[in-house]
Chains A and B, each alone.
Chain A
Amino acid sequence: MSDLNLRDVRKSFGSFEVIKGVNLDIASREFVVFVGPSGCGKSTLLRMIAGLEDISSGDISIGGKRVNDLDPSKRGIAMVFQSYALYPHLTVRENMGFALRFAGVEKDAITAQVDGVAKTLGLNALMERYPKELSGGQRQRVAIGRAIVRKPEVFLFDEPLSNLDAELRVHMRIELARLHKTLATTVIYVTHDQVEAMTLADKIVVMREGVVAQVGSPLDVYDNPDNMFVAGFIGSPKINFVKGVVDSASKTKLKVTLPSYNNSAFDFPITASALKVGDSVVIGLRPQYFGTGGKQKFNLTVELVEHLGGESFVYAGNGSGELLTIATQSARGIKSGEKFEARFDASKALLFTEAGERVR
């Protein structure tokens, strides 16, 4: 049983607080992804779980046992580092068996265990090579193999794929997902690549400046972001934010006008809200929400089109200076300078307060 619980976990480097009270419950066998902008403390939090970094306050428990003061090697975790951190003076075989050797496991048992893992990862032909004689992808595989050999209850990955080229990254991503299925262990995975986050995760933890901004399944986080930060961070291309003003408010309906779009008006069904007439709000419209259907429309002028083949991104504005990003599959003929009618359904739009909290 390898449930993992963080209770008000904090970390300061000197007087600088990096992790500002994180609470998190991770179930056994869950694939959890930490995402967030650079410097928000993902690696630090992961290293605290690993035991590589002391905890300033709070509690971390694994499998119900408090591990705050436990050595990294005794926490039942294994870690794969961004730089792979293979021991350069040891062969692939020695690298993979290293932890077992220091745990006092017998030579024959180590060989058997290492060979077994090597087979599942297709490393058999490389066993006597040194890390410098391997390609990036092979090193990555060895690093993962070294982690598996230890039979941990929790795998920790810190941006393991960021040093690989795009093609290999997709390949390793799929392989990781498969490995997670076969090994059936808990995985905590740090990345700032949201494709990795969306595709691999059972549960995404979005972090911002040392706090958890939202926890949820990938689609939940995408469809129902708690705040503007999460809405802006998850989803590609980035969500469009348009400023609005509350025009009238009733118990069930909120009418919002958009000053930069000729005061065009929207009705949002709501249940309860503290918003008053005259309050500023922000409307979030994902590029994918636009189409040829929908009751609402913006009349725009195309500034730039990016054709990705299947899909195109249209950047268009109405002269106010703001550009909207629109993802569409039928924009092949569109050229910059042309008129463009962006239709959408107001019921899909997200509504935030000026401070960035989600209203609807």
Chain B
Amino acid sequence: MNRRLHRIMIYTMLSIAAFVSVFPFLWLIVGATNISPDILSGKATPGHALFDNFVKLTQQVDLVQLFYNSTKIAVIATALTLVVASLAGYAFEIFRSQLSDRIFASLLAMLSIPFAALMIPLFVIMAKLHLINTHTAVIIPTIASIFIIFYFRQATKSFPAELRDAARVDGLKEWQIFWHIYVPVMRSTYAAATIIIFMANWNAYLWPLIVLQTNEMKTITLAVASLLSAYVPDYGVVMVATTLATLPTLFIFFVLQKQFVQGLLGSVK
């Protein structure tokens, strides 16, 4: 009896937690099917305006172009960040020296500099390189992500040193050890990092807003924001756009979910 009560309590708590985290998303989807006045009046039941909202959205923005831009930026940035940050994190942990530890410490210190302070120098650099209003300008500053380097360095601590030794005895060169041993062994770390980096890039707002100036270069995230900043926003349309903008990250998450959890718990068991 006692155990049953215990279970009921656990399930109740979990249900509340689940509801709280899922509710905004549900509300978003319900909102996408309603017209703007209904949403503002707090209507919480599905309506019939989904198709109309979608049509209105396609009239206001070039959805295909936006998705293409967002996907291109997020995919390229994710791939490059994974390569650069995992190599750096691996090296910082495996080839440790006093010098490399110092460099790493100063990298970490840089995490405390707010992006707002870096924005203007970055913009000037991009302008000098004639990269304003290009996707390259959006991608480059994100690649050497200190946080992701830190993440890989921590994860590398759990990579067994004897595996490296075994591989060296088996005749592998350093880069072969990285590619043939480290990468496959650490795949759940890579999966978790993929999700984090992809989401960060997909949802990036401030920096793309600054460097991307024409509509045909903009990302879906920027477009949603500009819909909201209209004089009288059509919330139904905004909800549809937001829902669509969420789908790719959701998809990536569901594909990599299992590895993601493993990666956060520690990859090598």
Q: Interface on A for B, CB 8 Å cutoff?
A: 47, 50-52, 71-74, 77-79, 81-83, 85-89, 98-99, 102-103, 132, 150
Contacts and interface: CB of A to CB of B under 8 A. Distances in A.
B182 to A, nearest CB: 10
Contact of A85 (B162, B171, B269): B162
B204 interface: no
Contacts of A71: 168, 171
A298 to B, nearest CB: 49
Interface in B163-191: 163, 165-172, 176, 181, 184-185, 187
Contacts of B163: 85, 87
B165 A79 contact: yes
B169 A83 contact: no
User: SS class of chain B's interface: helix, strand, loop or mixed?
Assistant: helix
A87 B192 CA distance: 21
B52 to A, nearest CB: 51
15 contacts: A50-B169, A52-B168, A71-B168, A72-B169, A73-B168, A73-B170, A74-B171, A79-B166, A81-B166, A82-B162, A83-B162, A86-B166, A87-B167, A87-B181, A102-B171
Given A89-B185, A102-B176, A83 B160 contact: yes
A166 to B, nearest CB: 24
B209 to A, nearest CB: 42
B132 interface: no
A52 B185 CA distance: 21
Contacts of A132: 269
B169 A79 contact: yes
A94 to B, nearest CB: 11
A74 B168 CA distance: 10
Nearest to A78: B169
A14 to B, nearest CB: 10
Interface string B4-20: 00000000000000000
Nearest to A88: B185
Contacts of B181: 87
Interface of B: 160, 162-163, 165-172, 176, 181, 184-185, 187, 268-269
Contact of B168 (A72, A86, A98, A150): A72
B170 to A, nearest CB: 4
A83 B163 CA distance: 9
Nearest to A143: B166
A222 B167 CA distance: 38
A73 B185 contact: no
Given A79-B165, A81-B166, A73 B160 contact: no
A87 B187 CA distance: 13
Contacts of A89: 184-185, 187
Contacts of A51: 168-169
A98 B165 contact: no
B162 A98 contact: no
A98 B169 contact: no
Contact of B268 (A50, A52, A88, A150): A88
A77 B169 contact: yes
B170 A102 contact: yes
A88 B170 CA distance: 15
Residue with the highest number of chain B CB atoms closer than 10 Å, among A85, A98, A132: A85
A333 B13 CA distance: 66
Contacts of B166: 79, 81, 85-87
A99 B171 contact: yes
A50 B162 CA distance: 13
A68 to B, nearest CB: 16
Contacts of B176: 102
B259 to A, nearest CB: 13
A155 to B, nearest CB: 11
Contacts of A81: 162, 165-166
A11 B87 CA distance: 30
Given A50-B169, A52-B168, A83-B160, 17 more contacts: A51-B168, A51-B169, A52-B165, A52-B169, A72-B171, A73-B170, A73-B171, A77-B169, A78-B169, A79-B166, A79-B169, A81-B165, A83-B162, A85-B166, A88-B268, A89-B184, A98-B170
